Amino acid sequence: MSRVYNFSAGPAMLPEPVLEQVREELLDWRGTGMSVMEMSHRGKAFVAIAEEAEAELRALAGIPEHYEVLFLQGGASLQFAMVPLNLLRGKGKADYVNTGSWSTKAIKEARRFCEVNVAASSEASRFTTIPPQAEWRLDPDAAYVHYTPNETIGGVEFHWVPDTGDVPLVADMSSTILSRPLEVERFGLIYAGAQKNIGPAGLTLVIVREDLVGHAGPGVPSMLDYRTHAEAGSMANTPPTFAWYVAGLVFKWIRDQGGLAAMAERNRRKAEKLYAFIDGSDFYHNPVDPACRSWMNVPFTLARPELDGAFLEGAAEAGLSTLKGHRSVGGMRASLYNAMPEAGVDALIDYMAEFERRHG
């Protein structure tokens, strides 16, 4: 067996100790004689797994009692609809900040349900910057303000949390959650698909302030109503049990690493190392304003794009996998989520330097 450094944007690399524990427990979870995959979600064993995962997450991220933690399905993409369906509370309009592909998708979906005010957009800079809050035109009557703290495709990240006063702040944290400490109380709602920094695909995490639950309109399907899931402990129907279990192991692994502050320090170091290398080279280029470069997703291009294929082939031979950029932007993208060890970034930089020596 040989494992590669997997730079995929999602589904992404998982911590090796977590995979090893999964393998260890796969056929017989702690003497139950069955796999977690085969357990009733209402049985004692799985209920304990589920509760422990939630408790770990609450401790890790400092989630206060008056926030619900929901383990849902449908991906972050379903939250693009569930957020307006639940949070409009009769208001009919919401503010959105557009910083790239994922915000654009969230806006498009929200427009099916309400009037969207694009309070700020970095489209004019081809989404390589983040508009400072002083330039945002927020509507005081908006039901909520939605933004994307990390744009997975453009590699643009907020290194600050917007201040929206009494208007609830909603964040699509799919590709940055748990990468650094989280001030949950600054947010009305946080959502994230699990497959980047939490665990396997199929699980979507929603952290929502209690008072924002229970306002879905009459036509909203019950399975799209946060209240249904909050009241049922995320077991209104069969939840993604295996993904939930693995997420719990990942939360424990993060705690063993020293928690979110330690993750942040490591993530910053990894990203800074790679950006410093790119900036010091005439062969590689990252287009993003240094003040808002992502710690999680680092897009870069080669001075000679005709060498993209050779670059990827050589990388794969060196055990560096899935560096191809998103189909909408081309070039390369290295995703450096929590599970990517520093040695993986070092190996990538060594390979890039060697490739430049041969072709630059």
Ligand X SMILES: *Cc1c(COP(=O)(O)O)cnc(C)c1O
Can you give the binding site for ligand X, defined by CB under 6 A? 10, 75-77, 102, 148, 152, 172, 174-175, 193
DSSP 19: H
Q: Annotation-wise, does 86 bind a ligand?
A: no
CB of 317 to ligand X, least distance (A): 28
Q: And the tokens for 281?
A: 């080279």
How distant, in Å, are the alpha carbons of 120, 135, 150, 348 from that of 142?
A: 14, 17, 23, 45
Q: Which residue has the tokens 């349900």?
A: 113
* Active-site position among 196, 252, 270, 324: 196
Q: Look at residues 136, 126, 82, 133 and name the one whose alpha carbon lies nearest to residue 104.
A: 126
The Cα–Cα gap between 348 and 321 comes to 10
Is-catalytic flag, 91?
A: no
Classify residue 21 as exposed, middle or buried by CB count within 10 Å of its CB (0-12, 13-18, 19+): middle
List the strands of the sheet with 332-335, edge to edge. 284-285, 297-302, 332-335
Q: Annotation-wise, does 271 bind a ligand?
A: no
The amino acid occupying position 99 is T
Q: Look at residues 273, 269, 277, 272 and name the one whose alpha carbon lies nearest to residue 356.
A: 277
Q: Annotation-wise, does 102 bind a ligand?
A: yes
* Active-site position among 29, 172, 295, 324: 172
CB of 175 to ligand X, least distance (A): 4
Q: Which residue has the tokens 């989630």?
A: 63
For ligand X, the closer of residues 146 and 270 by Cβ is 146
Q: Annotation-wise, does 136 bind a ligand?
A: no
CB of 224 to ligand X, least distance (A): 15
For ligand X, the closer of residues 194 and 249 by Cβ is 194
Is-catalytic flag, 252?
A: no
CB 241 within 8 A of CB 36: yes
CB 194 within 8 A of CB 203: yes
Q: Which helix (H) or strand (E) holds 287?
A: none
CB 229 within 8 A of CB 86: no
Q: Annotation-wise, does 266 bind a ligand?
A: no
CB of 59 to ligand X, least distance (A): 25
For ligand X, the closer of residues 168 and 193 by Cβ is 193
For ligand X, the closer of residues 76 and 120 by Cβ is 76
* Active-site position among 29, 102, 244, 295: 102
Q: Annotation-wise, does 134 bind a ligand?
A: no
The Cα–Cα gap between 92 and 116 comes to 9
For ligand X, the closer of residues 270 and 333 by Cβ is 333
Q: Annotation-wise, does 238 bind a ligand?
A: yes
Is-catalytic flag, 253?
A: no
CB of 202 to ligand X, least distance (A): 9
Binding region for L-glutamate: 42
Annotated binding-site members for pyridoxal 5'-phosphate: 76-77, 102, 152, 172, 195, 237-238
The residues assigned a catalytic role are 102, 172, 196
Q: Per the annotation, where are the binding residues?
A: 42, 76-77, 102, 152, 172, 195, 237-238
